[in-house]
Structure 1
Amino acid sequence: IGKPYVWGATGPNAFDCSGLTQAAWKAAGVSLPRTTYTQINAGQRIPRSQLAPGDLVFFYSGISHVGLYIGGGQMIHAPRPGAPVRIAPIDQMPFAGATRVA
């Protein structure tokens, strides 16, 4: 939380959205693909009604943003340049799908 957004960054000092989710799962011993577009297929697709902490949540019709669901309708994500890694409601952006990493 609070680290800057830098496009293409995978941590630990800065992140982009998919770099953040990749680093989070790597810390748990799980290897994820690098990009948002490939992370959506890195596990089982699940409906929004079945979200659980740790699930990847995706946004926009072109699957151009990903966050890490933490429960209670909230996620951790790296939003955009100038906006640090933060907790935000998943309703803040158009929901496009979710994946449960195995």
Structure 2
Amino acid sequence: MYSDPLSRFRSTRCPRRFTRLALLAVAILLLAACASTPHRRESTYKPSHSALADLPALAPSAASAGEANDILFRAIALVGTPYRWGGNTPAGGFDCSGLIDYIYRTAARIELPRTSHEMAAMDGRKVHRMTQLASGDLVFFDIGGAISHVGVYVGKGRFVHAPNSGGTVRLDDIDGPYWGGHFAYGKRLLD
């Protein structure tokens, strides 16, 4: 007559009692769920690992602070743009020197030579210690015995550059294992 044992209980015995038990069971389950340890989700944010991150940020002279800010905003805005050897526009992609020339030309109206080696030979104050770099400084890297890579220092131990074929413009720690070992010097053009 009854298809399941509970249907007989619900229909003939105490419908209120069944309802109370069901509500009590739901309440216990909810309380047990609230009392359990929450699952931790791994954050996708990766804070800087640079030892320079805790140092006070340096800026170029007050007269060029506005240009430095424009350079930083332009550089950060280009992160994610594809790398392309010989590239010098956001639409076409960038190589390292094309990126730096584009940033300085559009943000500070300073035209730079085409290669990192030529940029390194320009007039400007050399900065030999990473701790003395100011936001907006060019940073040069010696790879294979000669200056062959350039980026722009944004502060707190980080720089923006177009590192390699198949990659994109990115933000890296200047004192990381690879870049720290190849850092040659910085050059301040904004003072």
Whether TM exceeds 0.5 here: the answer is yes
Instruction: Determine whether 1:25 maps to 2:89.
Output: no
For structure 2, the residue ranges without an aligned partner over 5 or more in a row are 1-78
How far is 1:53 from its partner? 0.7
Q: How many residue pairs align between the two structures?
A: 102
* 1:23 counterpart letter in structure 2: Y
Match of 1:66, SS state, is: strand
Are the aligned partners of 1:41 and 1:99 in contact in 2 as well (CA < 8 Å)? no
Match of 2:84, SS state, is: coil
Pick aligned residue for 1:36 from 92, 106, 116:
116
Instruction: Determine whether 1:64 maps to 2:187.
Output: no
Match of 1:98, SS state, is: strand
Instruction: Determine whether 1:89 maps to 2:89.
Output: no
How far is 1:41 from its partner? 2.4
Are the aligned partners of 2:128 and 2:184 in contact in 1 as well (CA < 8 Å)? no
Which 4+ residue blocks in structure 1 deviate beyond 6 angstroms?
none
Which has a greater percent of strand?
1
TM-score (norm 2): 0.51
How far is 1:91 from its partner? 1.9
Bigger Rg, structure 1 or 2: 2
Match of 1:64, SS state, is: strand
How far is 1:50 from its partner? 1.6
CA distance in 2: counterparts of 1:32 and 1:24, whole angstroms: 10
How far is 1:38 from its partner? 0.8
Q: What percentage of aligned pairs have identical amino acids?
A: 46
CA distance in 2: counterparts of 1:12 and 1:84, whole angstroms: 11
Aligned to 1:45: 126
Match of 1:68, SS state, is: strand
Greater RCO structure (CA 8 Å; 6+ sep): 1
Match of 2:140, SS state, is: strand
Match of 1:19, SS state, is: helix
For structure 1, the residue ranges without an aligned partner over 5 or more in a row are none
